[in-house]
Structure 1
Amino acid sequence: MKLNLVANLGRAASPISILRERNFGLVWSAITLAGMASQMETVVVVWYVLNLTDSPFLVGLTASARMGFNFLALFAGATADIVPRRVLLVIVQVLLASLAVLMLTLIFTGRIEVWHIFIITLAAGLVRIFQMPAAQSLAVDSVSQDRIPNAVALVNAGMNLALVAGPLLGGILFELAGPEGAYVLVAALYCLSGLSALMMGAIRVSSAGDRESVFTAVVQGLRYVKAQQLLWSVLVVAVIINITGFSFHTTLMPIFARDVLDRDSVGLGLLISFFGIGALVGSMIWASIPNLRHTGLLCILAVVGW
């Protein structure tokens, strides 16, 4: 009995050991690699457009294209509940890698124009909205019920790690090898992400019951949210944070780095990486506070402080 208790305590004290579970380790790798590629791409695209056009407006327009289809996220989530998630994730990574290769080809041949960048970025934004619903669902499906909190925490840690490493790596590569050199690694990371998802074995599916159409699932989800005042409040807070954070992170930061601080792409990557460091530290502090109360008030204060 005592030996079993000690063994259980040892397992509970090592949440990172969940990475040794094959399917979760692979989906975690897929999420983290794709996150790094996406964060690299953000720095490379906005810095390239800024240097190509010297237009803050076009930088903002191109950055907005990355988020242009976010309003379809509900449909993406419903789709991930209907189609095989592993297949969906692999398709997403293949498409993102293909778009990165297309951008690389246009840059390398000297035929790139701003409208090319805008269209490719817009297409990548449309594809990317299917990525996280499929990946996060796979992460939950690949572990036992009692390990879901550990899985969620590690997925968030991987995303924060990508936010720290991706921008800095993108900025360094842009400075050393130009946008084409950076896009070689972006495409490679998307390919590795897709390969990780492809290597996953059969897993259980968390959703149950009869499968609905995407439209029906979206309508039912909206009805549920409408009936929950707390969810509406959370959505409002999330929208405020994303709108204000998005504009500063992807549009104002490149201008600030170049025109105010007189920095290159490495400086821009470093500045954006600090967002990831802050997110990582903040999540660790939040998780370390026992019996946290008044979370709603704390969220409001955080938004005001932001």
Structure 2
Amino acid sequence: MAEVSGESHAPLFRNRSFILFFLTFFASSLSVAFFLFTVNWYVVDYLRLEVMLGIVFFATSIPRLLFMLIGGAIADRVNKATVMLVSDFTKAVLLLAVIGLLVFDLLSIWVLVGLAFLFGLLDAFFWPASSSLFPSIVDREQLTRANAIVQTTQRSSIIVGPLLAGLVIGFGSYELMFGIVSLMLLIAAVIDMFLRRNVNKDIELEQASIWGAITDGIRYVKQSSFLLTLMLTSVSLNLFLSGPMQVGLPIFARNVLDGDEFTYSLLSGLLGVGMLIGAIIVGIINIKRRRGLVSLGGIMALGVFMVSFSLTGELWLSLLFIGLVGLTMAIIDVPLISAIQAHTDEEYLGRMMSLISFSSMGLLPVSFLLTSMFISLGFAIEEIIFVASCCLLMVGLIVVIFTKSIRQID
């Protein structure tokens, strides 16, 4: 088991490891926001293949689902910052190749599907490493506030990313936009190098095998009714939330609001604004008790706001409700992540975060495919979002009524 650095007890912004983590997380998050916006709008507006957007998301989610558990086991056995470095650098190189294809007008939908698959594969190792590194450099009493700061950073990138990407694409080009994404990933990789030197060295391989580490993590989860219930809830939420919202947002911007890349960037940006405000609220309050109950309230509110969003046809109302959707998403996520980190033994953190991510992604590919299938059958995107929102409300009610373990977790 790795020892926790003495720096973890220092105030957050006097903690060198936390500052480095903060910087690389910001660069990575901003690059992700740029990348997702650019690919989504390229498929919907340039290629005019909105029915294929779900396939792109499907290609991203499959390797994450298949390799996330392996990524978590590896994160518990090696220097986590090294995993982050390899992931960021490789993605930067892949995007440089994409720019070359764009110059010669060779960037087809199937190239984007392949790129999405590779990014998903790299993320399957990056996210367990980053999320399990975090608690080892921050004191557990500061976890909620530190998570709120990191979530605020991510939400800020979601706000700034789409707005800047919309401007760059509108007044520049896709080549320039992908070049900026590659540069941000290279910056993140450089910071990862410094972070690698500042955290614990590689952990000795104590487990017999990767598979043995994974099964050991599964046994650990089975002992906790809270973790088991959380995984089942995550599966249901992502089935009804991820596909309709991720696939649907650019289509909603163009078809329902009759907008362009700036309309899509405003919707994405306001979603991020809501997430930012929610993370700030949670960080200021620094919730330490009844975190599960707070998250359950957020699930119910999320369903109501999504229903309202699906019924709007005016830009200002759409912006209002998408902002409220983002706010409730942050209120759901931050307390639960903090509770998981606080109630998990450190040597299992990598596997726990990957198992939680694995469970939340369990039906993600199905969600993307179902959304694309309903679009291809002629259903309007607002109809798809409305039905999914109603299902989300039903899940929230079931969880509130029957899941005592989440209601009582601190």
Report the TM-score, using the length of structure 2 for normalisation. 0.65
Tell me the alpha carbon deviations over residues 140-171 of structure 1, each in whole angstroms, 9 at most, x when there is no partner: 33345554444333222222222222222222
1:108 has 2:107 as partner: no
C-alpha spacing 1:299/1:46, structure 2 compared with 1 (3 Å)? same
2:272 to 276, 280, 287: 276
121-130 or 280-289: which moved more?
Answer: 280-289
Label 1:168 to 1:63 Cα distance change in 2 as closer, same or farther (>3 A). farther
Q: 1:151 to 1:182 in 2, by over 3 A?
A: same
Distance change (3 Å), C-alpha of 1:228 and 1:290:
closer
1:84-123 aligned at under 5 Å gives the runs 84-123=79-118
- Residues 1:261 and 2:257 are matched in the alignment: yes
Letter in 2 for 1:298: G
Distance 1:206-1:67 versus aligned 2 partners, 3 A rule: same
156, 162, 169: which is aligned to 1:174? Answer: 169
1:53 pairs with one of 44, 47, 52: 47
Task: Report the 3-state secondary structure (helix = DSSP H, G, I; strand = E; otherwise coil) of the residue aligned with 1:130.
Answer: helix
Q: Give the Cα–Cα distance (whole angstroms) in 1 for the partners of residues 202 and 140 of structure 2.
A: 10
Identical positions, percent: 23
Q: Which residue of 2 aligns with 1:137?
A: 132
Aligned residue in 1 for 2:58:
64
CA-to-aligned-CA distance 1:229-260 (integer Å, 9 cap, x gap): 22122122222333333223321111111122
Q: CA deviation at 1:47?
A: 0.8
Structure 2 spans left out of the alignment, 5+ residues: 1-8, 307-410
Report 1:1-306 matches (<5 A): 18-71=12-65, 72-144=67-139, 146-200=141-195, 201-204=197-200, 210-287=206-283, 288=285, 293=290, 294-295=293-294, 297-302=296-301, 304-305=303-304, 306=306
CA distance in 2, matches of 1:164, 1:115: 29
Q: Any idea what the Cα deviations from partners look like across 1:194-244, whole Å, max 9, x if unmatched?
A: 111112233237979934532112111222223322212212222233333
Residues in 1 aligned to 2:19 and 2:144: alpha-carbon distance in whole angstroms: 15
**Which consecutive residues of structure 1, in runs of 5 or more, have no partner in the other structure?**
1-11
- 1:172-211 Cα deviation digits (max 9, x unpaired): 2121212111101100000000111112233237979934
Query: Is the Cα–Cα contact under 8 Å of residues 18 and 138 in structure 2 kept in the other structure?
Result: yes
Seen in structure 2, the aligned counterparts of structure 1 residues 81 and 94 have a Cα distance that, compared at 3 Å, is same
Report if aligned partners of 2:92, 2:182 keep a CA contact under 8 Å in 1: yes
Q: How many residues align?
A: 292
Q: Matches of 1:50 and 1:296 in 2, distance apart?
A: 33
CA contact (8 A) 2:56 2:116 kept: yes
TM-score between both structures, scaled by the size of structure 1:
0.85
Partner SS state of residue 95, structure 2? helix
Kindly indicate whether the alpha-carbon contact (under 8 Å) linking 1:237 and 1:300 is maintained by their aligned counterparts in 2. no
Whole-angstrom CA distance in 2 between matches of 1:112 and 1:56: 16
SS of residue matched to 1:83: coil
| Alpha-carbon separation, structure 2, partners of 1:206 and 1:234 | 31
SS class of match (2:160): helix
Q: State the one-letter code of the partner of 1:257.
A: A
Amino acid at match of 2:240: T
How far apart, CA to CA, are the structure 1 residues paired with 2:198 and 2:37?
36
The 8 Å contact of residues 28 and 139 in structure 1, kept in 2 or not, is answered as no
8 Å CA contact 1:46–1:63 kept in 2: the answer is no
Alpha-carbon offset, residue 123 of structure 1: 0.8
1:108-154 CA distances to partner (integer Å, 9 max, x unpaired)?
12222111111011111111122122223333333455544443332
Asked if the contact 1:168–1:270 (Cα under 8 Å) also holds between the matched residues in 2, the reply is yes
- The residue type equivalent to 1:178 in the other structure is S
The alignment yields a C-alpha RMSD, in angstroms, of: 2.6
Tell me, in whole angstroms, the C-alpha distance in 2 between the residues paired with 1:212 and 1:266.
53
Q: Is the 8 A contact 2:37 2:165 kept in 1?
A: yes
**CA distance 1:232–1:146, change in 2 (3 Å):** closer
